[in-house]
């Protein structure tokens, strides 16, 4: 296996972990009634961003080695998904938000 394929695969796994973590975060926020009426802190969501950006960086390095830019579509789609998720209500990380 070439180094380009290896870097691209590692970048995709990092990006996929960040996307799945963001979906899990939103699932917990949507079912807040089952968790004692307390929202998870948004700091969790914002800490997913470095993981996603690491995936984009590693995938970019792999794409340079493979000379193919199309492998960057998945990590960049992850950035779009997380930006779309930012439109939901957020609370300040150091203040615990309580469901009405």
Per-residue pLDDT tens digits for 55-91 = 888 998 888 888 888 888 888 888 888 877 777 655 5
Report the number of distinct structural domains present in the chain.
1
Residue 100 falls within a domain, yes or no?
A: no
- What does pTM read for this prediction? 0.74
pLDDT bin (cut points 50, 70, 90) of residue 95 is: low
Output the pLDDT for position 90: 57
Domain with 48 in it: 3-85
Q: Which residues contact 62 (CB under 8 A, 6 or more apart)?
A: 3, 4, 5, 6, 7, 8, 9, 10, 11, 71
Residue 97 falls within a domain, yes or no?
A: no
Residue 56 falls within a domain, yes or no?
A: yes
């Amino acid at each position: 296996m070439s180094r380009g394929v290896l870097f691209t695969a590692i970048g995709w796994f990092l990006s996929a972990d960040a996307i799945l973590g963001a979906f899990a975060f939103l699932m917990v926020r949507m079912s807040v009634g089952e968790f004692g009426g307390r929202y998870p802190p948004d700091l969790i969501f914002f800490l997913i961003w470095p993981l996603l950006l690491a995936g984009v960086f590693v995938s970019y390095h792999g794409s340079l080695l493979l000379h193919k830019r199309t492998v960057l579509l998945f990590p960049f789609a992850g950035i779009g998904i997380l930006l779309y998720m930012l439109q939901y209500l957020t609370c300040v990380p150091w203040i615990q938000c309580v469901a009405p």
